[in-house]
Amino acid sequence: MSLLYDDGQLAIASESRRVLEAKVSLEAQLPLLETQGAYDTAFWAIAREQGWTALAMPERHGGIDLGLVELGLVALQAGRSLSGAPFVTTSYGAAAALLAHDHDPAIAEWLRRLASGAAIGAVAFAERGATLPLSSAVRFSGGRLSGTKPAVCAGLHADLAVVLACGDHGPALVLAPLEGVTREAFDTFDNSRGTAHLLFADTPATSLAHGDAAIATAMKVLAEQAVIVAHEQTGGAERLMELARDHANTRHAFGSPIGAFQSVKHRIAELYGLVELARASALHAATRVGQADFLKAAAAARISATEAYDTAARDCIQIHGGIGVTWEGALHLHMRRARSLAIEQGNSLFWEDVLVNEMTKAAA
């Protein structure tokens, strides 16, 4: 498949950027940093109005029936604009886990609600700081779920969660509506992500897969979410590179723009290289969904995008000097988002292990 966007995809990128730049305010993000239980409601309303929640969903469930490439383009623009809600990613992940079971009327109804944005989904795979493999902290038995899932992104606001649990006969992937489930919010450096512990106490749940199939499905869903987040990270890194470039061209020291100094211009050039590598890796991974090398491509994209965003956040503040550590330029927003995205959907160490394992299997 060509790694060039077609006209329709370019139109999606252009329109999503126009809408987000016009309607998402950085000033509105500032209170969210230190406010538990709040997220960027304006962004979520835009996502629903623009149909981004339905972008990669099948038409039979009210979706637009596009794919991860198009959803990634929206995520990239959301990363540039620092959208203060993770629900486009998490709801897609929940829907991806449910699609194989849409013959069940109850699951089909959840899919329709996810496509319209009327419901928010979460994916609860984390277990004591590790994404996979599974420990026994959460158990599924007799159609009931018990235990605690820690640090679930969007868990504070989600209506349903897809949970990887320990079943009577091995791993179990289950659907758990979250009405009545206790949620413990906690302060993070990016409270707009809605991260919370989910405390299941004999909660009714529906089995989706068990055994090796549960682990395989969970890994596939996690990889697809990682590709979306890689696009979001790439968008944030791109925006930081532009801010560093613009500041270097306008800020003068010793009678010259600071961009004339090698230590600054070389750093911005390196950022450009990291951003373009991350963009290419994310696009490549989005085109490999369903292929044998998808996990390898997703892991590479995730690692590349994390490095790009982390480096851009650090270097952009350095290039701005003293003003970079104030709230005036909002660079701290990107720094906080870079750090939160770096640990969502599995951290770099996890994805490095996945990449090594996939490359080892391919070489065997």
Count CA within 13 A, CB hemisphere, residue 357: 10
**Do 304 and 350 belong together in one domain?**
yes
Reading the block at residue 325, the tokens are 């550590």
Amino acid at 289: V
Instruction: Kindly state the average pLDDT of the residues 318-339.
Output: 84
* One domain, residues 263 and 208: no
Q: What is the DSSP string of 261-316?
A: SHHHHHHHHHHHHHHHHHHHHHHHHHHTTTSTTHHHHHHHHHHHHHHHHHHHHHHH
Q: Could you say which of 80, 99, 116 is where a domain stops? A: 116
Please check whether residues 31 and 105 belong to one and the same domain: yes
Stretch 241-265: mean pLDDT? 86
| Tokens (6 digits) for 301 | 């994209």
Name the most confidently modeled range: 121-135, 239-253, 294-308. Answer: 294-308
2 within domain boundaries: no
By residue range, what is the domain housing residue 343?
218-363
Q: Which of 186, 214, 242 is the last residue of a domain?
A: 214
Contact between 294 and 362 under an 8 Å Cβ cutoff? The reply is: no
Shared domain check, 225 and 357: yes
260 and 287 both lie in a single domain: yes
Q: Same structural domain for residues 48 and 24? A: yes
pLDDT band at 129 (very low <50, low <70, confident <90, very high): very low
> Which tokens hold the place of 318?
């350095």
| pLDDT score at 262 | 84
pTM value surpassing 0.85: yes
pLDDT of res. 186: 82
- Calculate mean pLDDT across residues 133-150: 84
For residue 1, tell me if it sits in a domain: no
Number of domains making up the chain: 3
Q: What is d(CA 85, CA 344) in angstroms, rounded to the nearest whole number?
A: 13
The last residue of a domain, from among 57, 92, 116: 116
Residues 273 and 351 grouped into a single domain: yes
The CATH code of the domain that includes 61 is 1.10.540.10
What is the per-residue pLDDT across 188-218, written as a single tens digit (0 to 9) for each?
888 899 999 999 999 999 999 999 999 999 9
Q: Which residues contact 207 (CB under 8 A, 6 or more apart)?
A: 140, 143, 167, 172, 173, 174
Q: Are 299 and 354 in contact, with CB atoms under 8 Å apart?
A: yes
Per-residue pLDDT band at 136 (split at 50, 70, 90): low
Same domain, 179 and 274: no
What's the average model confidence in pLDDT over 48-75? 96
**pLDDT of the residue at 293:** 94
Give the model's confidence band at 323: pLDDT under 50 very low, under 70 low, under 90 confident, else very high.
confident
CB 178 within 8 A of CB 158: yes
- Do 244 and 354 lie in a common domain? yes
pLDDT, tens digit, for every residue of 270-322?
999 999 999 999 999 999 999 999 999 999 999 999 999 999 999 999 998 87
Give me the residue label for tokens 């590349």. Answer: 304
Same domain, yes or no: 198 and 245? no
Taking the alpha carbons at both ends of the chain, their separation in whole angstroms is 26
Q: Give me the CATH number covering residue 235.
A: 1.20.140.10
Confidence of residue 26 (pLDDT cuts 50, 70, 90): confident
The verdict on 222 and 291 lying in the same domain is: yes
Mean pLDDT of the chain: 91
Same domain as 184, residue 261: no
CA of 308: how far to CAs of 290, 302, 335, in Å?
26, 10, 12
Burial 321-352 (b: 16+ CB within 10 A, else e): eeebeeeebebbbbbbbbebbbbbbbeeebbe
Average pLDDT on 68-91 reads 94
